[in-house]
Structure 1
């Protein structure tokens, strides 16, 4: 038995009630600090995250970091309660004990858990922020803690993170159009699917109209796990397009932000253009001119028309 009262071997199965009886801590939470022993119990169950379209939990590629999504099911997660207990565990002289869901306790409908080992938060970068859906399927920010093992740990292939750890440097590479898989949390549900389909169909019509090959940029910013995919990139003209399936002010504003975000990661810096299904209002055209972004829009009879930012003319 260790001096913190822990005597459960790595790899053991243990239900929450047994853990609560032996070591303290409440029964149901994902993060349970104990008043009985100097431990913080962490429960990882990737199936819960998958229900909302993400799965950050699990080992990174070289098994040196276990990623764990913080607690809080609605709105942005806050650094309090269980999240704070993880972040401050060294100051409070508590060990982090990690469990991963593993089947059901025999004869019950309760989940069983396998003890993975003792951990600490990474000293240089204890966590990073990611975007995910909450219980109401609204976009929000979550904490992803970076846990380093202390001593023996239990590895399983099934405990690999699907997102992986953060990148230390920004990576940008050209990929074929077919390599793009849309991942959007801005408008979850049916509307997102419809919007993506409209944008994809608009892009296909424009590529056919221009008659040459286009590509996309895949950009993974430093400090993040999720890559960003641009819409269309014309390498011959060094021009980057953002497509929107609607011509509303909100859509145009979001497109401007996306283009400026992408542009700063691409060398040489590309020209920018917005691809729309209709001609936007004169005020929005002036807005695009002010920020240096061309506008390409579809017309029923002629195909596509362009408003260049350099000429100020249709």
Structure 2
């Protein structure tokens, strides 16, 4: 049997070469191979938007690089078809996700060339969300948007393929109750029993559990704020010159408070949250009234002092309540006033 070649990061391939070496379909956007343990997924953001495929190949959030890839299905609500299931279940199936972006044409033909961006895996615990986009007939429908994280090195997507984001936008959270039909898997958080495949995810189990705790904490806090009559969003922040977008955690629209959540109250997590909040704040105009860190439990006194020393508020969960909420914006206003007098 001939040896299967390795994918070359950043190299451009045509579909014939991909099929010959790794299998899969010549035409499908999601090519589940019977020849090798791979699922090849192909993205063409400029062309895809015509059909309601809104792919984002260079997002960043608190966990690092993130790709959002729209599943298959050009008309009506998308369902968990074999192609979409191949992405969702690639861990259980022992297959690698290989991401390609369209970068040109083969000669003067209509056949596309595809640049290999690297190996990815579905994110845990939020493997996918449900969004809305028009289909090829202009009818608004529900689409499955997979959330993917890189496995090892990746190649940067081309500038031409990036979405144009003129300024800060505020995106909604998606909840299970909003989604129909039932055939589409729609959970904001995958149930514990559905995460049995996490043992083969190429990340430490502890990291997966911390991220699960963070996602669940965000959901509880969001429900709490909405119960208080507050509108809750996330900030989508374009980075000038980099064709990349940062995604924040919680933005309380009513009080204009930007929160960064962490799944544990240790020093490294809090240091990271501080850096992320100041990074986000630089690009948001008008700036938030205050910055706050959201934790699942109280940190030690030294870490409380660290958070207070940089003018950031602290909210943590204790006995089903959120201590430190509502947040006072006094320290933020004091800091802003001090900065303006320099």
Residue among 229, 233, 245 paired with 1:221: 233
State how 1:129-208 maps to structure 2 within 5 Å: 129-158=130-159, 159-162=161-164
Q: TM-score, normalised by structure 2?
A: 0.46
Q: TM-score, normalised by structure 1?
A: 0.50
Gaps of 5+ in 2: 175-230, 237-251, 256-342
Distance 1:117 1:129 in 2: 24
Distance 2:100 2:134 in 1: 24
Using the TM superposition, give the Cα deviation of residue 49 of structure 1 relative to its aligned residue in structure 2, in angstroms: 2.9
Residues 164-216 of structure 1: per-residue CA shift (max 9 Å, x gap): 9996979xxxxxxxxxxxxxxxxxxxxxxxxxxxxxxxxxxxxxxxxxxxxxx
Q: Are the counterparts in 1 of residues 132 and 140 from structure 2 also a CA contact under 8 Å? A: yes
Distance 1:221 1:154 in 2: 30
Distance 1:24 1:16 in 2: 10
Equivalent residue number for residue 26 of structure 1? 25
Q: Answer with 1 or 2: which has the greater Rg.
A: 1
- Residues matched between the structures, number: 179
Equivalent residue number for residue 195 of structure 2? none
Q: Are the counterparts in 2 of residues 39 and 97 from structure 1 also a CA contact under 8 Å? A: yes
State how 1:274-289 maps to structure 2 within 5 Å: none
Equivalent residue number for residue 55 of structure 2? 56
Equivalent residue number for residue 7 of structure 2? 8
Stretch moving more, 159-168 or 24-33: 159-168
Distance 1:165 1:49 in 2: 21
Distance 2:30 2:52 in 1: 21
Q: Taking structure 1 as reference, are residues 84 and 6 closer, same or farther at Cα in structure 2, changes over 3 Å only? A: farther
Q: Are the counterparts in 2 of residues 67 and 146 from structure 1 also a CA contact under 8 Å? A: yes
Equivalent residue number for residue 38 of structure 1? 37
Q: Taking structure 1 as reference, are residues 123 and 168 closer, same or farther at Cα in structure 2, changes over 3 Å only? A: farther
State how 1:282-297 maps to structure 2 within 5 Å: none
Residues 210-234 of structure 1: per-residue CA shift (max 9 Å, x gap): xxxxxxxxx7636x97xxxxxxxxx
Q: Taking structure 1 as reference, are residues 39 and 83 closer, same or farther at Cα in structure 2, changes over 3 Å only? A: same
Q: Taking structure 1 as reference, are residues 36 and 53 closer, same or farther at Cα in structure 2, changes over 3 Å only? A: closer
Using the TM superposition, give the Cα deviation of residue 47 of structure 1 relative to its aligned residue in structure 2, in angstroms: 1.9
Q: Are the counterparts in 2 of residues 56 and 162 from structure 1 also a CA contact under 8 Å? A: no
Equivalent residue number for residue 127 of structure 1? 128
Distance 1:8 1:167 in 2: 35
Distance 2:12 2:45 in 1: 17
Using the TM superposition, give the Cα deviation of residue 58 of structure 1 relative to its aligned residue in structure 2, in angstroms: 1.7
Using the TM superposition, give the Cα deviation of residue 107 of structure 1 relative to its aligned residue in structure 2, in angstroms: 4.8
Residues 246-297 of structure 1: per-residue CA shift (max 9 Å, x gap): xxxxxxxxxxxxxxxxxx9757xxxxxxxxxxxxxxxxxxxxxxxxxxxxxx
